Every structure is written in structure tokens, then in C-alpha cells.
Amino acid sequence: MPKFDGNGLLTAVAIDHRNGALLMLAHMNAEAFAKTRETGFAHFHSRSRGKLWMKGESSGHVLKVIEIRVDCDQDAVELRVEPAGPACHTLAATCFYRRIADDGTLERIID
């Protein structure tokens, strides 16, 4: 089982299982991790709001979890997911939709 840090959290990275795209990064406490395994949909712990949330609970853009992988030191998990719509709250397909150009500016590269 994964190891939670001093704040009771671990980092979860959501990857689209169909094409390997990095979709988003969020945090899980033990409750969010258990809910994710129990329901098959990604749940996270909001550090700002201090509570459990299901990704897509208001937008409908849920992440169906196909597989959960853990890293070597077990403090991070990879969620292999099937997204129902855009993963980002900005409605981009992924939260990582901009690259840093050589001059330091941000360039949008993904719709």
C-alpha cells in the first residue's frame, strides 16, 4: 500500500491509458485513495478546501480508473484513466497544455 507523507498525502498523477498523455496531478489522502479503489473513479483531497472531491463531480468530466501503479518508494501513484471529456478545469484536454519557450514565455501547444 502507498505511504502517505507527514501531511497524510501522496501525489497522484493521472495518465490517459489510451495515449499516455499526462492529464493532471493532484493529492490523495487515505480517504481519497480508498474511495478511488472502491468506486473506480478518481477522488482527491483538496488541500485548499481541506476536503474530499471526486474529479468531475460538478463538470461531469470524471476519470475512470483502469489501473493504479505505485512508484519505487511508494509515495506516489500513477492512475491509468479513461477521461470523460477534458481533464482540465480550463476545458483543455490536459492541464499541461503549455510549454515554456526558450525565452521563458508560455506557449499553448494543446487545445
Binding site for a second copy (CB under 8 A): 1, 11, 13, 15, 19-22, 24-25, 37, 67-73, 76-78, 88-90, 92, 95-100, 104, 106, 109
Tell me whether residue 37 or residue 51 sits nearer to a second copy (CB atom).
37
Tell me whether residue 57 or residue 71 sits nearer to a second copy (CB atom).
71
Cβ 103 to a second copy, closest distance in Å? 11
Distance CA 55, CA 64 (A): 10
Cβ 45 to a second copy, closest distance in Å? 15
Cβ 13 to a second copy, closest distance in Å? 6
Distance CA 46, CA 51 (A): 5
Residue with cell 493529492: 27
Query: C-alpha distances in angstroms, 93 versus 2, 3, 4, 47, 88?
Result: 28, 30, 29, 23, 6
